[in-house]
C-alpha cells in the first residue's frame, strides 16, 4: 500500500509554526508521513524548531514568481503588515501548487488560519484541505461570527465601547478585538473574508482540548457562530506544545536550579512582544519593589511599535533599564536578552507564575506546566485570550491598565506580589494544577484529544475513499 502522506502549511510566524510542527509529530506517531512546507527561508528561530524536530521533514518553498511581500496598499501607500502578509501568502499559491504536484502522492493539505487562499490550490488539484487553527476555540468562535457579519457591519461601526454578544464566549468590549480589525480599514476588509474561508475546509483541527473550552465548542458545533452556513467538523487535538528539553546548560535553567521551589515569576511576551523604554523602566522598578524573584526576557523597543514585522536589535540592557537595577536585584532576578527556553522555564520547579502576553502557545505551555497567569495582552487576538483566561478558564488575572499607555511600576509591583504571595492567588494555583491534569488526561490513551485525532484520520480516510491510494493528477 502506498505510504500515507500529508502536507502541513503553517504560513508565517513562530506562533503558527510551533503548533504545526507539533501536529506533524502527531501524524508521524500515527504512521502518516508528513512534510511541513515553509514559506521564505527560515530565520534562526525557524531553524531552531526544525533542528529540534529531526523526524519532521521540512521543505522551504521557493519565492513566488511575483513577490508581493513588499507590496503596497490600493491607495499607493504602504500596506499594513497583516495585509502584506495575506497578499504574500496568496502569492505563494503557485509555488505551493508546484510542490504538491512534485510529490508522488498526497492525502491532504493542512493549512494555517491565514493560508485560506491555499483552499484554491487544493480545489484545483482535487485535494482535501483541512484547517489547523492555532489559537483558542473561543477565538475561532469569535472570528467565524465576525466573518458571518462582514456584509452587515461596516468598518468603524465596532466602536471600542460596544459590547458584542458573540456566541460561546463571555461578553466583551469591541476594544478587546485584534487591533487591526478595529482600527485599520484595509486589514478589516482583508482579514474578515479570510476568516470566512475557514468553514470551506473539510474540518478544523483546533489546538485545544474539550474540557478547557466547553462553551465555545458547543456554540461552534451547534452552528451558532456562523449562522446560515454549516461549520465543518471541529477536532480538538491539543494541547500540542513544543516539547522543550533543550540545552540543560542554558543560563536561565542553571540560574533557576539555584532558586527555591515556586519562587520565581517568569516574564516573557511571545516571539514578538516588545515595550518602549519608559514601560521597561516601570516594569523594572515594579519588579525591584515587589521583592520577588524574577526571570525576565527583555527585547529592544521597536521604532514603530505597531510594526511587528520590524526586525529587532539585541537589547542594550544598560541603556534600557534604570541605573542600579541590575545591582539592586542581583541574586534574586535575572534579565535575559530577547529569548529564553520558555517551555523548560515554565516546567522548572522554581517557577511559580507567568506574566504573559496571552499568545495561545504560551497559554497552553503554561497550562501543561501548571502555572497561574498574570495577563498582559499586547497584539493580535491576545486581548480576547485575556478575557477567556480570566473569566472563562479562571486561570489568571489581568494586569491593570494593560490597555492604557503605560502600566505604572506600583501596579506591576502589586500584581506580581499578589500572584506570587497572596492567599487570594491560591485559587489560581489550584485551578492551574487541575487544568494541567485535565490537559494530560485529554492527550492520554483514551483521552478526548487522542480520540479526536483518530476520528479525524478516519474521516480523512472516508472522504478520500481509500487513504493511501490518493494521488494528485
Ligand atoms: N518563545 C520562547 N522563548 C521566548 C519567547 C517565546 O520559547 O523568549 C516561544 C514560546 O514558548 C511559544 C512561542 O515562542 O512557543 C510564542 O508563541 P505564542 O503563541 O505564545 O505567541 P506569539 O509569538 O505568536 O505572539
If we measure between CA atoms, which residue out of 303, 266, 296, 265 comes closest to residue 282? 296
Mutate to test the pocket of ligand 1, among 43, 271, 343, 351 (most ligand atoms within 8 A of CB): 271
Mean pLDDT of 91-100: 97
Q: How much is the pLDDT for 52?
A: 81
Q: Cα(199)–Cα(58) distance, rounded to whole angstroms?
A: 27
* Out of 5-19, 49-63, 113-127, least confident range: 49-63
Under the banding of pLDDT at 50, 70 and 90, the label for residue 151 is: confident
pLDDT at 460 over 50: yes
131 neighbors 111 (Cβ within 8 angstroms): yes
pLDDT at 73 over 60: no
* Out of 23-32, 51-60, 367-376, least confident range: 51-60
375 CA distance to ligand 1 middle (Å): 14
Locate all alpha helices (DSSP H) within 248-354, ordered by sequence: 251-257, 277-290, 317-320, 325-328, 342-347
5 CA distance to ligand 1 middle (Å): 28
Domains of the chain and any CATH numbers: 5-242+441-465 (3.40.50.2000), 251-436 (3.40.50.2000)
Q: What are the strands of the beta sheet with 234-236, ordered from one edge? A: 57-60, 33-38, 5-9, 108-112, 129-133, 204-206, 234-236
Q: How much is the pLDDT for 41?
A: 61
466 CA distance to ligand 1 middle (Å): 38
**Residues 289-311: tens digit of each pLDDT:** 999 999 999 999 998 877 777 88
Mean residue pLDDT of the chain comes to 92
Using the atom order of ligand 1, give the atom closest to the CA of residue 365.
Answer: 11
361 CA distance to ligand 1 middle (Å): 6
Using the atom order of ligand 1, give the atom closest to the CA of residue 134.
Answer: 19
Under the banding of pLDDT at 50, 70 and 90, the label for residue 158 is: confident
Q: Answer yes or no: is the C-beta of 207 below 6 A from any ligand 1 atom.
A: no
pLDDT at 342 over 90: yes
pLDDT at 239 over 90: yes
Mean pLDDT of 8-16: 92
Only one residue has cell 491555499, namely 118
Under the banding of pLDDT at 50, 70 and 90, the label for residue 183 is: confident
Beta strands in 15-61 (DSSP E): 33-38, 57-60
Mean pLDDT of 152-180: 89
Q: Answer yes or no: is the C-beta of 242 below 6 A from any ligand 1 atom.
A: yes
23 neighbors 453 (Cβ within 8 angstroms): no
Q: Cα(361)–Cα(254) distance, rounded to whole angstroms?
A: 24
Q: How much is the pLDDT for 74?
A: 47
Q: How much is the pLDDT for 461?
A: 87
Under the banding of pLDDT at 50, 70 and 90, the label for residue 78 is: low
pLDDT at 242 over 80: yes
Q: Answer yes or no: is the C-beta of 359 below 6 A from any ligand 1 atom.
A: yes
pLDDT at 144 over 90: yes
Q: Answer yes or no: is the C-beta of 279 below 6 A from any ligand 1 atom.
A: no
Whose CA is closest to atom 4 on ligand 1?
Answer: 339
286 CA distance to ligand 1 middle (Å): 23
**Residues 357-409: tens digit of each pLDDT:** 999 999 999 999 999 999 999 999 999 999 999 999 999 999 999 999 999 99
Amino acid at each position: 500500500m502506498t505510504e500515507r502522506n500529508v502536507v502541513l502549511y503553517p504560513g508565517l510566524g513562530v506562533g503558527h509554526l510551533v503548533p504545526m510542527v507539533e501536529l506533524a509529530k502527531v501524524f508521524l506517531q500515527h504512521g502518516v508521513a508528513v512534510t511541513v512546507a515553509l514559506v521564505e527561508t527560515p530565520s534562526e528561530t525557524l531553524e531552531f524548531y526544525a533542528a529540534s524536530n529531526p523526524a519532521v521533514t521540512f521543505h522551504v518553498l521557493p519565492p513566488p514568481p511575483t513577490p508581493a511581500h513588499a507590496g503596497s496598499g490600493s491607495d499607493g501607500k504602504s500596506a499594513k503588515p497583516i495585509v502584506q502578509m495575506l497578499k504574500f501568502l496568496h502569492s505563494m499559491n503557485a509555488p505551493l501548487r508546484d510542490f504538491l504536484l512534485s510529490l508522488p502522492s498526497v492525502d491532504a493539505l493542512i493549512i494555517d488560519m491565514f493560508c485560506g487562499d491555499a483552499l484554491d490550490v487544493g480545489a484545483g488539484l482535487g485535494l482535501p484541505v483541512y484547517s489547523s487553527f492555532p489559537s483558542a476555540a473561543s477565538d475561532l468562535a469569535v472570528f467565524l461570527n465576525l466573518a458571518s457579519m462582514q456584509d452587515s457591519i461596516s468598518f468603524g461601526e465596532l466602536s471600542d465601547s460596544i459590547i458584542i454578544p458573540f456566541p460561546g464566549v463571555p461578553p466583551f468590549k469591541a476594544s478587546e478585538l485584534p487591533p487591526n480589525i478595529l482600527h485599520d480599514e484595509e486589514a478589516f476588509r482583508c482579514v474578515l473574508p479570510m476568516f470566512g474561508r475557514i468553514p470551506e475546509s473539510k474540518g478544523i483541527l483546533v489546538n485545544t482540548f474539550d474540557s478547557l473550552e466547553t462553551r465555545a465548542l458547543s456554540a461552534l458545533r451547534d452552528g451558532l457562530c456562523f449562522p446560515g452556513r454549516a461549520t465543518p467538523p471541529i477536532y480538538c487535538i491539543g494541547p500540542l506544545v513544543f516539547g522543550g528539553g533543550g540545552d540543560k546548560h542554558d543560563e536561565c535553567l542553571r540560574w533557576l536550579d539555584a532558586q527555591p521551589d515556586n519562587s520565581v515569576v517568569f516574564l516573557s511576551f511571545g516571539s514578538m512582544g516588545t515595550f518602549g523604554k519608559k514601560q521597561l523602566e516601570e516594569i523594572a522598578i515594579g519588579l525591584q519593589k515587589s521583592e520577588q524573584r524574577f526571570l525576565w526576557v527583555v527585547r529592544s523597543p521597536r521604532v514603530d511599535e505597531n510594526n511587528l514585522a520590524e526586525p529587532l536589535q539585541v537589547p542594550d540592557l544598560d541603556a534600557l533599564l534604570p541605573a542600579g537595577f541590575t545591582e539592586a536585584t542581583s541574586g534574586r532576578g535575572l534579565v535575559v536578552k530577547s529569548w529564553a527556553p520558555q517551555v523548560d522555564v515554565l516546567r522548572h520547579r522554581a517557577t511559580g507564575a507567568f506574566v504573559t502576553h496571552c499568545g495561545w502557545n504560551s497559554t497552553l505551555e503554561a497550562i501543561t506546566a501548571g502555572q497561574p497567569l498574570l495577563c498582559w495582552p499586547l497584539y493580535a487576538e491576545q486581548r480576547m485570550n485575556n478575557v477567556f483566561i480570566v473569566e472563562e478558564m479562571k486561570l489568571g488575572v489581568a494586569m491593570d491598565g494593560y490597555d492604557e499607555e503605560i502600566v505604572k511600576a506600583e501596579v506591576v509591583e502589586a500584581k506580581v506580589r499578589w500572584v506570587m504571595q497572596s492567599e487570594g492567588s491560591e485559587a489560581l494555583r489550584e485551578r492551574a494544577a487541575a487544568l494541567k491534569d485535565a490537559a494530560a488526561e485529554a492527550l492520554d490513551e483514551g483521552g478526548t484529544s487522542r480520540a479526536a485525532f483518530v476520528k479525524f484520520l478516519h474521516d480523512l480516510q472516508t472522504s478520500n475513499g481509500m487513504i493511501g491510494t490518493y494521488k494528485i493528477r
